[in-house]
Amino acid sequence: MKLPFIALLALLPMAQAAADSFSEQDLKVARQAISRAQASDLAYELVASLTSEVGPRPAGSANDAKAVAWAQAKLATLGFDRVWIEPVKVDGWARISERAEIVAPYPQVMAVTALGNSISTPDAGINAEIAYYENLEQLKNDTSDRAKGRIAFVDSVFARSRDGRGYGKAVPTRFAGATEAGKHGAIALLIRSIGTDHDRLAHTGSMRYDEKIAAPIPAAAVSNPDADMIVRQLKSGKPVRVALTLKNEFKSGLQSHNVLAEIRGSQWPEQIVAIGGHLDSWDLGTGAIDDGAGIAITVAALKMIQESGVRPKRTLRVILFANEENGIDGANAYAAAHGKEKHQLIGESDLGSGKVFQISTNVREAALPALREIAAVIAPLGIELGDNSAGGGADLGPLIRQYSHPSVALAQDASEYFDIHHTANDTLDKINPVTLKQNVAAWSALIWLAAQAEVEFGPSLKK
Amino acid sequence: MKLPFIALLALLPMAQAAADSFSEQDLKVARQAISRAQASDLAYELVASLTSEVGPRPAGSANDAKAVAWAQAKLATLGFDRVWIEPVKVDGWARISERAEIVAPYPQVMAVTALGNSISTPDAGINAEIAYYENLEQLKNDTSDRAKGRIAFVDSVFARSRDGRGYGKAVPTRFAGATEAGKHGAIALLIRSIGTDHDRLAHTGSMRYDEKIAAPIPAAAVSNPDADMIVRQLKSGKPVRVALTLKNEFKSGLQSHNVLAEIRGSQWPEQIVAIGGHLDSWDLGTGAIDDGAGIAITVAALKMIQESGVRPKRTLRVILFANEENGIDGANAYAAAHGKEKHQLIGESDLGSGKVFQISTNVREAALPALREIAAVIAPLGIELGDNSAGGGADLGPLIRQYSHPSVALAQDASEYFDIHHTANDTLDKINPVTLKQNVAAWSALIWLAAQAEVEFGPSLKK
């Protein structure tokens, strides 16, 4: 393709910059890591092993402890300089049984699942009429008493998109809906699953009660086809009654662990390039896309650098966080233990194996030329340069908010992620081996160059 | 588009033929029926009503009786000349509970469902090692005793295709696998779900024991991701043990009904153009694609003709068959009661709402010109002309085999059908309203012209 003169000019700063921040040797190692990643099955083998040999691993469960042992053993086998665990206190919550059915006007059994942290119903269940709300706002703004003594049903629809932006908007319904429903006198909350699929599998996820506002009520999600069924039956004009039985179990003060590994830096070992994912998962699936993929991608990215045979100037660290799903406890524990260490860059992989399409950052201005050069190195992977106002994932939150550590986000294609997210469908077959490799390639080049840059990336911009 | 001379010649026989078998008025009514069908929501409303107001309706269940009452009421409302029911004896089978898990080497809960007609396990379940078979042939040919005292696992993979041809090949594993496994000493049969999906929802379906060959053993299907899990664990080289508990219930000698409706013919009322689908469904879903769609399509097709205001020369009949899924009892009862009546044409719709892409037939040679003209009328719907060796669907079987009634098959795109078939996912959202209308359009033109043709279509060719 022939470029007009003006376009050639626009390319110059990038080309020039490329000569500024990194040596030819550093760029060569980055490109070799990309090639190595694209030929490596390591990430797939890791997520296959974790999902098959451990499977579901809710925080504080016996399987959570198995996952920690699995991770320690794997990381030791991979031969990193240091592998260790750090204790994380978690509150356990476990699903025992759940059942929901429409009992009138037209009886139908529904696919239902309790939201994480929901209390149980009475043993005999709850049998009450539905009070319909199109979304959380409508429930909040309801000044009538129609929710009183009823099951509030909140019907927010979550639309598919490449960047998964509908998720953030949908989550408050799940997280805080029970408190809002309780405040309006409802005796249970039922929500349309926060998911973009049409499967008879309900989506779980974390919720919390604000007992200062309302007494806790049981909270559950029905699958999208079952939410459609409720809506159709409501259209008959007849009252819709639902019977709901949930049995859940709480165990506070349990022990989990963050699992960590490092390749020690040669020049500035006290400066950390830290990436990771979360080791825990919900109980319904086997935690393949959420977040076996992130564990596999970030561990494999470090391994690709280790295999280059060249030691990075800064320390590369991978963090497998405990209990992201139901408390962000591992992230808080890491921040408390390591927040004061100098972090050159932090990053999180927690969106399955979808292709990375964009790199965005939150670093200081002086670091932007180096970041643009990194973006140029991974651009052949189909990754465009975003802006410098990246948000962090859940596990980066405490480090960014409390310590202003500089962060990077590799935005992944989330078009299909929320079909599967937090359901029994989260299994290994949902991992795309090709785009999984692309993720490893991008992260490996990125962390290597971040470790080599003369410029310090932090602190991040205030937001 | 300009056609070369040779192509124009090729079109001539069809154009000439069109003048032979049907009057311009008859062709006009057919084309108007197509337009009417494409503007009508009737079929969608029917399948929405059946799935929402009745839902799952296994033969002999309380919901089966509700479905019969629903159908009678709907057909009466639609104002056909005659609406009636005919008794059908069925054997009831009901799923009470089911659970399967891998207990070693790596414990995992699996999504499982009993096959229709399976006996229960002992209350304490069965806990045994897996004996792996790639397919039914391998089990049949096994001369070793490795299945003895084990759970035979048959892993046949079913590939997606437009015409669903893999299904016929896969079914014997489900239908007869338990007898074969029992013959080899297995204490239970587990199969990979016969489905093209990757959902954690197992596919049920009919099976039978041949007690002359082997004593009955429990039989169930695991979801495709769970079958993958078994395979991966087997690859570890360690024995894989599974715990399986099924509880099912048999009730013989129950009563169901075929539901029928007619538009009476003006000239040859004793000659019947009969189409239909089956009213029963499996218990896991709401029977939208299997076979609410077929019920809706064929009933709406008759209604489109009724709305033309012109009475057909032959009688149009719609048959809503009882218990197709677990015994073909309705089809046998219909054949016994009506097989000796003269049927001008029989057809069955039992493949969801997928687009019709081909018409094929099994009629006598003399009827082929008329059938080609009918094909030309529905060709604008994107339907090509197939051959004269159509197979019948399950409900046409007895009529074709015992009475050589002439039949037609409208082949539908089955690419996605077997993702959903016989699972909890068989719900209204799986109906495509656009292609549903295309089905109604094709059937309405077809049955009208079949009723008007001077030529008799039967008997069918011997096969």
The structure tokens listed for B97 are 């509970």
Residue B6 has pLDDT above 90, yes or no: no
Q: How confident is the model at residue A3 (pLDDT cuts 50, 70, 90)?
A: very low
A201 touches chain B (CB under 8 A): yes
CATH classification code of A97-250: 3.50.30.30
The answer to whether the CB atoms of A55 and B107 lie below 8 A apart is: yes
DSSP class of residue A206? B
A185 touches chain B (CB under 8 A): no
The minimal CB distance from B198 to the residues A54, A233, A429 is found for: A429
- Which regions of chain A carry the CATH code 3.50.30.30? 97-250
The minimal CB distance from B52 to the residues A52, A54, A232 is found for: A232
Q: Is the CA virtual torsion A434, A440, A446, A449 positive or negative?
A: negative
- Determine the topology of domain B93-251 in CATH: Glucose Oxidase; domain 1 (3.50.30)
Q: What is the mean pLDDT of residues A281-288?
A: 98
Q: How confident is the model at residue A463 (pLDDT cuts 50, 70, 90)?
A: low
- Given this model, what pLDDT does residue B11 score? 42
Q: What is the per-residue pLDDT across B307-366, written as a single tens digit (0 to 9) for each?
A: 999 999 999 999 999 999 999 999 999 999 999 999 999 999 999 999 999 999 999 999
Q: Supply angle C-alpha B166, B171, B176, rounded to 5.
A: 155
> Nearest chain A Cα to B419, which residue?
A199
Using an 8 Å CB-CB cutoff, list chain B residues near A429: 198, 224-225, 228
- Given this model, what pLDDT does residue B19 score? 54
Q: How confident is the model at residue B391 (pLDDT cuts 50, 70, 90)?
A: confident
The answer to whether the CB atoms of A107 and B55 lie below 8 A apart is: yes
Q: What is the mean pLDDT of residues A86-100?
A: 97
Q: How many interchain CB pairs under 8 A, A with B?
A: 78
Do A408 and A372 contact (CB within 8 A), yes or no?
Answer: no
Using an 8 Å CB-CB cutoff, list chain A residues near B430: 198
> Nearest chain A Cα to B105, which residue?
A53
A101 versus A392: the higher-pLDDT residue is A101
- Given this model, what pLDDT does residue B392 score? 81
Residue type, B308: S
The structure tokens listed for B67 are 């479905």
Residue B296 has pLDDT above 90, yes or no: yes
Separation of alpha carbons B350 and B353, rounded Å:
9
Separation of alpha carbons B329 and B327, rounded Å:
5
Contacts for A222 with CB less than 8 Å, ≥ 6 apart: A100, A110, A111, A112, A190, A191, A192, A193, A202, A230
Query: Average pLDDT of chain A?
Result: 95
Residue A4 has pLDDT above 60, yes or no: no
Give the CATH class of B13-81+264-452: alpha beta
Using an 8 Å CB-CB cutoff, list chain B residues near A232: 48, 52, 428
- Given this model, what pLDDT does residue A392 score? 81
- Given this model, what pLDDT does residue B133 score? 98
Residue B8 has pLDDT above 80, yes or no: no
Do B310 and B190 contact (CB within 8 A), yes or no?
Answer: no
The structure tokens listed for B260 are 């029928």
b (16+ CB within 10 A) / e for A425-461: bbbbbbbbeebbbbbbbbbbbbbbbbbbbeebbbbbe
The answer to whether the CB atoms of A108 and B428 lie below 8 A apart is: no
Separation of alpha carbons A361 and A341, rounded Å:
20
Query: Average pLDDT of chain B?
Result: 95
Q: What is the per-residue pLDDT across B183-217, written as a single tens digit (0 to 9) for each?
A: 999 999 999 999 999 999 999 999 999 999 999 99
- Which regions of chain B carry the CATH code 3.40.630.10? 13-81+264-452
Q: What is the mean pLDDT of residues B281-308?
A: 98
Q: How confident is the model at residue A38 (pLDDT cuts 50, 70, 90)?
A: very high
B17 versus B41: the higher-pLDDT residue is B41
Q: Which CATH superfamily is domain A16-81+264-452 in?
A: Zn peptidases (3.40.630.10)
Q: What is the mean pLDDT of residues A329-342?
A: 98
Do A252 and A91 contact (CB within 8 A), yes or no?
Answer: yes
Query: Within 13 Å, how many C-alpha atoms sit on residue A218's CB side?
Result: 29
% of chain B beyond a pLDDT of 90: 94
Annotated catalytic residue: which of A98, A262, A324, A325?
Answer: A324
Q: What is the per-residue pLDDT across A414-426, written as a single tens digit (0 to 9) for each?
A: 999 999 999 999 9
With 0-12 / 13-18 / 19 or more C-beta atoms within 10 angstroms meaning exposed / middle / buried, residue A168 is: exposed
Separation of alpha carbons A151 and A119, rounded Å:
15
Residue A9 has pLDDT above 50, yes or no: no
Q: Mark whether B324 is an active-site residue.
A: yes
Q: What is the per-residue pLDDT across B161-184, written as a single tens digit (0 to 9) for each?
A: 999 999 999 999 999 999 999 999
% of chain A beyond a pLDDT of 90: 94
Separation of alpha carbons B302 and B280, rounded Å:
20
Q: What is the per-residue pLDDT across A176-232, written as a single tens digit (0 to 9) for each?
A: 999 999 999 999 999 999 999 999 999 999 999 999 999 999 999 999 999 999 999
Q: How confident is the model at residue A236 (pLDDT cuts 50, 70, 90)?
A: very high
Q: What is the per-residue pLDDT across B413-449, written as a single tens digit (0 to 9) for each?
A: 999 999 999 999 999 999 999 999 999 999 999 999 9
DSSP class of residue A80? -
The structure tokens listed for A314 are 């800064």
Torsion of CA A441, A443, A448, A450, to 10 degrees: 140
Q: What is the mean pLDDT of residues A274-296?
A: 98
Residue type, A272: I
For B55, the 3-state DSSP assignment is coil
Residue A7 has pLDDT above 70, yes or no: no
| φ and ψ of B345, to 5 deg | -165, 140
The structure tokens listed for A189 are 């909350």
Separation of alpha carbons B260 and B254, rounded Å:
20
> Nearest chain B Cα to A49, which residue?
B232
Shortest CA gap A296–chain B (Å) = 18
A3 versus A296: the higher-pLDDT residue is A296
With 0-12 / 13-18 / 19 or more C-beta atoms within 10 angstroms meaning exposed / middle / buried, residue B17 is: middle
- Which regions of chain A carry the CATH code 3.40.630.10? 16-81+264-452
Residue A13 has pLDDT above 70, yes or no: no
- Given this model, what pLDDT does residue B9 score? 38
The answer to whether the CB atoms of B232 and A48 lie below 8 A apart is: yes
A428 touches chain B (CB under 8 A): yes
% of chain A beyond a pLDDT of 70: 95
Separation of alpha carbons B279 and B28, rounded Å:
32
Separation of alpha carbons A57 and A202, rounded Å:
18
- Given this model, what pLDDT does residue A67 score? 98
Q: What is the 3-state secondary structure (H, E, C) of A225-283?
A: HHHHHHHHHHHCCCCCEEEEEEEEEEEEEEEEEEEEEEECCCCEEEEEEEEEEECCCCC
Q: What is the mean pLDDT of residues A137-159?
A: 97
> H or E segment at B376?
helix B368-378
Q: What is the per-residue pLDDT across B45-81, written as a single tens digit (0 to 9) for each?
A: 999 999 999 999 999 999 999 999 999 999 999 999 9
Contacts for B174 with CB less than 8 Å, ≥ 6 apart: B115, B191, B194, B205, B206, B207, B221
Closest CA to A61 of A90, A87, A97: A90
| φ and ψ of B418, to 5 deg | -85, 5
The answer to whether the CB atoms of A428 and B228 lie below 8 A apart is: yes
Separation of alpha carbons B164 and B146, rounded Å:
33
Residue type, B425: N
Whether residue B4 is preceded by a cis peptide bond, meaning omega within 30 degrees of 0, is: no
